[in-house]
């Protein structure tokens, strides 16, 4: 992997957490970066008003995969309103930074969770 990635990014890329899809998710979100072709989908299970499970699938660079992985760890245990407050800076901080040319990966993660929870809010 090229220089510029933190040890945390490398770990989440090489050993991503919570990869996959739920059979019956309570909320799903999707984000795409048309310029790079990177995509990130997110499946959430919500139990008693708390995000109980979060799984993701990503296609793209190491930063995209790492961002999806850290996102799932961050949202589990949060309420949907708490999870909606996540920002690009939160993902970047959790990953110990991203190279300037890879910051779009954090945006994908944030967009996916906002998309999922926005759909959920419209359903209720």
* 84-114 residue pLDDT tens: 999 999 999 999 999 998 999 999 999 999 9
Sign of the dihedral defined by the CA atoms of residues 98, 72, 35, 1, in that order: positive
Query: Which of the four pLDDT bands, split at 50, 70 and 90, describes residue 118?
Result: confident
Q: Which of 1-10, 32-41, 42-51 reaches the highest mean pLDDT? A: 42-51
Predicted confidence at residue 1, as pLDDT, reads 46
Between the CA of residue 116 and those of 2, 59, 70, 99, what are the distances in Å? 32, 18, 16, 27
Q: Indicate the burial class of 22 (C-beta count within 10 angstroms; 0-12, 13-18, 19 or more).
A: middle
- For residues 25-51, give the mean pLDDT: 95
Taking the model in full, what pTM does it have? 0.92
Q: Using CA atoms, how far apart are residues 109 and 113, in angstroms rounded to an integer? A: 6
Predicted confidence at residue 94, as pLDDT, reads 95
Q: Using CA atoms, how far apart are residues 54 and 19, in angstroms rounded to an integer? A: 9
Q: In what order do the strands lie in the sheet with 50-59?
A: 27-33, 38-47, 50-59
- For residues 52-77, give the mean pLDDT: 96
- pLDDT reading at 66 higher than 80: yes
- For residues 62-72, give the mean pLDDT: 97
Query: Which of the four pLDDT bands, split at 50, 70 and 90, describes residue 32?
Result: very high
Q: Using CA atoms, how far apart are residues 51 and 29, in angstroms rounded to an integer? A: 14
Question: Both tokens of residue 70?
Answer: 């850290």
């Amino acid at each position: 992997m090229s220089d510029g990635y933190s040890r945390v990014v490398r770990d989440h890329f090489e050993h991503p957490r919570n990869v996959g899809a739920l059979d019956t998710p309570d909320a799903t979100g999707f984000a795409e970066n048309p310029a790079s072709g990177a995509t990130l989908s997110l499946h959430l299970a919500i139990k008693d008003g708390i995000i109980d499970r979060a799984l993701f699938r990503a296609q793209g660079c190491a930063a995209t995969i790492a961002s999806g992985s850290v996102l799932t760890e961050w949202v589990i245990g949060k309420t949907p309103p708490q999870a909606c407050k996540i920002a690009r800076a939160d993902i970047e901080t959790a990953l110990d930074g991203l190279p300037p040319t890879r910051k779009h990966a954090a945006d994908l993660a944030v967009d996916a969770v906002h998309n999922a929870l926005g759909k959920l809010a419209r359903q209720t």
